Structure 1
Amino acid sequence: MKKAVVLLSGGLDSTTCMSVAHKAGYELYPLSFDYGQRHQRELEAAKAVAQYYKVKEHRLIKIEHVGGSALTDASIQVPDYTEDGQIPVTYVPARNILFLSYALGYGEVMGAEAIFIGISSVDYSGYPDCRPEFLQAFQKVVDVGTKAGVSGQTIAIKAPLLYLSKGETIQLAAENGAPLHHTTSCYRGGEKACGTCDSCTLRLKGFAEAGIKDPIDYVNQGDRSCFSTPLED
């Protein structure tokens, strides 16, 4: 059976990615990362998602991050969602470069054909490592910088959500039977999702667009004025 490494955070997008890889017939090898993120609850969510898919192995990699982000530095407050066109303080320097590098090494050792990553360039916070340009550049690194790549057996970096809105992502997850009830998206990491940070707001927007009720609990539903369709109470 063909094998795939899946970057699994425990969030909406990575879980949808997992469902896409599963439906495509890959044997799943999820990787999750403890990088000092304040929303540690996502690691338990990742574990639950991995168990749902009955994977052979789910690896948790602990890395020391340099900080510089509201997600890794307790002195920087997680802001509410805004649309000011700036890269927000929740950007974690080089995060996807680090994650993909680990996944690439792991994938090359265990003979993976693909690495799945749940990035989107449509409904996202403006992070530079969620753009098509980044994905293309990293694929070039794979092709020229690995034994698999130079031997003509390169590992494909797959981002099936890259051009999907959050609403389209949620529709895809629903079609695939993805366990979204196990996921968490909140940057603040409370027992209930805050409903107002970037990640919560985009998630709520997506469920509203998809016309599907979000299965997780929120402290509040955020600013509904940014949603194209009303949320159900």
Structure 2
Amino acid sequence: MSIPPQANQSRKALVLFSGGQDSTACLAWALDRYAEVETIGFDYGQRHRIELDCRQVVRRELAAAFHSWGAKLGDDHLLDLSLLGQISDTALTADRAIEMQANGLPNTFVPGRNLLFLSFAATLAYRRGASVLVGGMCETDYSGYPDCRDNTLKALQVALSLGLDQPMTIETPLMFITKAETWALTEQLGGAALNDLIVEHTHTCYLGERKQRHAWGWGCGTCPACELRARGYVEYKGQA
């Protein structure tokens, strides 16, 4: 799915941007590579919808701290996908305990979410003149979601390109790296300033908790998303 660096200079990218650590890492990665970058977010009735409030803060702080990136940061788009929440019965869209299901997947899995996100993103990208979609999907440090797997995304890239009758590249810079390596990637891209920004302003916690501040950021500290982020931070600091 990778594009040669020299081909990026005139291309426009659309980043799936939730306001979390991974999507912020992807936004920084895209801003470092592409001529223009826009962002897209989705309101699907998520339990942790406080992330939607964080999105604009992160965009603003990135533009202020990294002027060269700010010059390339274009419009933001927020789509109403509340129907997805209405037809879902998951721990991300309802107030219920997070647990494993009989099929081996956690009940935080929202079926079809990334498939819909990328399809809507491609539709917008087509209209906005963007030929690259960037997402934070990862099959190294993840919860087993089938729509985060590389094969799923490769198949979807083909389908979208055929359906739009023009190439639509899906880039997943975090696909094969751990959460510790994600922290290292953002340090490489923007130094300590970028990681400090991620700690202070992004949101990952599944429960939408922003009352407790930890070394790795805000969150309940016990949900799977917080545990993964915290463990990665500890591993990253141990290697630094």
**TM-score, with length taken from structure 1:** 0.82
What is the percent sequence identity of the aligned residues?
38
Q: Which amino acid aligns with 1:20?
A: W
What residue in structure 2 maps to residue 48 of structure 1?
57
For residues 169 and 95 of structure 1, what CA distance do their matches in structure 2 show?
Answer: 23
For structure 1, list consecutive stretches of 5 or more residues without a partner in the other structure.
149-153, 212-228
The CA deviation at 1:85 is 9.2
What residue in structure 2 maps to residue 127 of structure 1?
145
Q: Which amino acid aligns with 2:59?
A: A
For structure 2, list consecutive stretches of 5 or more residues without a partner in the other structure.
1-9, 64-69, 212-218
Aligned pair count reads 204
Q: Which amino acid aligns with 2:12?
A: K
What residue in structure 2 maps to residue 184 of structure 1?
203
Q: Say which of 58, 69, 89 aligns to 1:68.
A: 89
Q: Which amino acid aligns with 1:165?
A: T
Mapped pair 1:165 → 2:178:
yes
For residues 26 and 86 of structure 1, what CA distance do their matches in structure 2 show?
Answer: 42
Q: Which amino acid aligns with 1:71?
A: L
Q: Say which of 32, 36, 39 aligns to 2:45.
A: 36
User: Contact conserved, 2:13 with 2:34, CA < 8 A, in 1?
Assistant: no
Would you tell me which structure has more helix in proportion to its own residues?
2
User: Contact conserved, 1:167 with 1:209, CA < 8 A, in 2?
Assistant: yes
Mapped pair 1:77 → 2:97:
yes
Q: Which amino acid aligns with 1:73?
A: A
Q: Say which of 156, 162, 168 aligns to 2:169.
A: 156
User: Contact conserved, 1:165 with 1:206, CA < 8 A, in 2?
Assistant: yes
User: Contact conserved, 1:30 with 1:50, CA < 8 A, in 2?
Assistant: no
**TM-score, with length taken from structure 2:** 0.80
User: What's the Cα RMSD here?
Assistant: 1.9
Q: Which amino acid aligns with 1:198?
A: P
What residue in structure 1 maps to residue 14 of structure 2?
5
The CA deviation at 1:50 is 2.0
Q: Which amino acid aligns with 2:89?
A: G
Q: Which amino acid aligns with 1:163?
A: F
